[in-house]
């Protein structure tokens, strides 16, 4: 570091953090004042927390691990190398250790893996005043949130929920079961994080209770947990839509070998797929040899089909992610995209037709059969755009039906598929209309 660690403030360390090595980060962190260090550590991403922790001396790790709530501590442990996880869990106090161990039993993309086991709870037979006193004691244990108090029975089954606003507004001698809401929105412990985020956003809640199969409450998932999930899912989908595997780490944290592997696998698949385009061109080489003018429009056909297919695929993937489109809506999607593709195809066909006529008038570029060539190009554009739109919209639904990630029907993959079929459509129409003249 060009600035001495003693001179660094938390803000300055935050600014230079991305360019520092691991040992430089640890050195700068150890010179922060205690209060600043707490806030700084909590502001770091889970990955950075894990890396920083392993750079600190063993005796200093305990304080920072114990600073985290159980759900964040579980995320931290999952970021560790397998050989380091047990040692980190052992640094926790016994109660938190049990909570973290229970969270680690879930998949990290499930509701159970996201939830916090620390939430405000009361009994239905308590009075409002008793509940407030009881909640005050719980608040000292660093609850995840105190917006809601959950009403549980002796078996920890969820009976109702009461907001703190309702609690403080109610008469002190009124029993909780008369104040609580019993129409509950809950999620199962194994629900996928993406579905969970949709429910939380749709219901406009600050937290959701997580229940097991027997109706026992296991914890809560809060809005801040879901914000992280939404960002993670969106990043993953965008990267997949670009024709590669999700990086699962910040850009600069991905090693060269991993970067090549994650980008190279799909690139090879797409390259091999594009070889079919060359095969299609070879199949129609006689037509191209007799009417070279047809070859000049091949890039136009390929780009038109690929672009419209990519548009449709992107729209449907995003609509599926937001819950706007489901598998049962496939026929509605087909009808909508057929009409859209037909309209778009006609628009591009008119532009292509007019372009050929204008260039013919200016430079006589397309010979005596220019009108037939213009009709071939126009009809081909309608067919290719229509096909690309329908194919691009259906591919995500097909992948979801097969249990695969719809984001894998990425724009490059759709474009490659439509390239090949587009050439077949183009040269088939040319063979039918130009037979006996140019062909």
pLDDT tens by residue, 226-259: 777 777 777 777 777 666 777 777 776 777 888 8
Alpha helices in 80-192 (DSSP H): 82-89, 94-104, 111-114, 128-139, 164-169
113 belongs to a structural domain: no
pLDDT tens by residue, 410-432: 666 777 778 888 888 998 898 88
In this structure, are 269 and 392 located in the same domain?
yes
pLDDT tens by residue, 300-333: 888 888 889 888 888 888 888 777 888 899 999 9
Number of structural domains, the chain? 3
* Better-scored residue on pLDDT, 69 or 291: 69
Supply the pTM of this predicted model: 0.62
CATH of the domain at 99: 1.25.60.10
115 belongs to a structural domain: no
Average pLDDT, the chain: 84
> Do residues 196 and 187 touch, judged by C-beta distance below 8 A?
yes
Residue that has been written with the tokens 């750079």 in this structure = 55
CA distances from residue 90 to 68, 85, 101, 246, 434 in whole angstroms, order as listed: 14, 9, 10, 32, 79
116 belongs to a structural domain: no
Percent of the chain topping pLDDT 90: 21
Domain final residue pick, 107, 139, 171: 107
290 belongs to a structural domain: yes
Q: What is the pLDDT of residue 307?
A: 86
CATH of the domain at 235: 3.10.580.10
| Closest by Cα among 393, 397, 392, 398 to 413 | 392
Q: What is the pLDDT of residue 4?
A: 47
Separation of alpha carbons 59 and 65, rounded Å = 11
Residue that has been written with the tokens 């994080």 in this structure = 193
In this structure, are 37 and 155 located in the same domain?
no
Q: What is the pLDDT of residue 409?
A: 58
Q: What is the helix (H) or strand (E) element at residue 218, kind and residue range? A: strand 217-222
Q: Which domain, by its residues, includes 126? A: 121-240
Domain final residue pick, 206, 240, 274: 240
pLDDT tens by residue, 21-41: 888 888 889 888 887 888 899
């Amino acid at each position: 570091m060009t600035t001495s660690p003693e001179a660094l403030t938390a803000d300055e360390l935050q600014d230079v953090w991305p360019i520092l090595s691991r040992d430089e980060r640890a050195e700068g962190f150890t010179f922060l004042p205690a209060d600043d260090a707490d806030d700084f550590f909590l502001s770091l991403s889970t990955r950075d927390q894990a890396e920083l922790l392993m750079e600190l001396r063993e005796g200093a790790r305990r304080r920072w691990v114990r600073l985290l709530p159980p759900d964040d501590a579980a995320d931290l442990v999952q970021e560790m190398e397998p050989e380091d996880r047990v040692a980190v869990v052992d640094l926790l106090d016994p109660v938190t250790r049990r909570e973290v161990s229970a969270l680690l039993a879930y998949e990290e993309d499930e509701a159970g893996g996201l939830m916090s086991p620390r939430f405000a709870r009361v009994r239905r037979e308590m009075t409002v005043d008793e509940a407030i006193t009881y909640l005050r004691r719980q608040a000292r244990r660093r609850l995840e949130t105190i917006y809601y108090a959950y009403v549980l029975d002796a078996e920890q089954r969820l009976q109702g929920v009461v907001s703190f606003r309702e609690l403080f507004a109610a008469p002190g001698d009124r029993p909780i079961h008369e104040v609580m809401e019993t129409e509950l929105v809950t999620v199962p412990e194994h629900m996928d994080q993406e579905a969970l985020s949709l429910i939380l956003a749709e219901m406009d809640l600050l937290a959701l209770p997580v229940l097991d199969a027997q109706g026992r409450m296991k914890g809560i998932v809060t809005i801040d947990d879901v914000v992280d999930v939404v960002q993670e899912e969106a990043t993953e989908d965008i990267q997949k839509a670009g024709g590669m595997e999700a990086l699962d780490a910040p850009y600069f944290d991905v090693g060269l070998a991993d970067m090549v592997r994650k980008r190279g696998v799909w690139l090879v698949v797409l390259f091999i797929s594009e070889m079919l385009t060359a095969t299609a061109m070879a199949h129609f080489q006689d037509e191209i040899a007799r009417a070279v003018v047809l070859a000049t429009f091949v890039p136009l056909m390929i780009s038109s089909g690929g672009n419209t297919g990519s548009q449709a695929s992107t729209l449907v993937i995003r609509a599926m992610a937001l819950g706007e489109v489901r598998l049962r809506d496939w026929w509605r999607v087909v009808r909508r995209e057929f009409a859209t593709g037909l309209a778009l195809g006609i628009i591009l066909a008119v532009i292509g037709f007019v372009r050929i006529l204008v260039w013919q008038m200016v430079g006589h570029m397309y010979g005596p059969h220019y009108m037939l060539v213009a009709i071939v190009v126009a009809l081909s554009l309608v067919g290719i755009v229509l096909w690309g739109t329908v194919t691009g919209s259906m591919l995500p639904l097909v992948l979801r039906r097969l249990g695969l990630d719809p984001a894998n029907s990425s724009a490059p993959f759709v474009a490659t598929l439509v390239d090949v079929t587009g050439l077949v459509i183009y040269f088939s129409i040319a063979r039918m209309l130009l037979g006996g003249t140019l062909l």
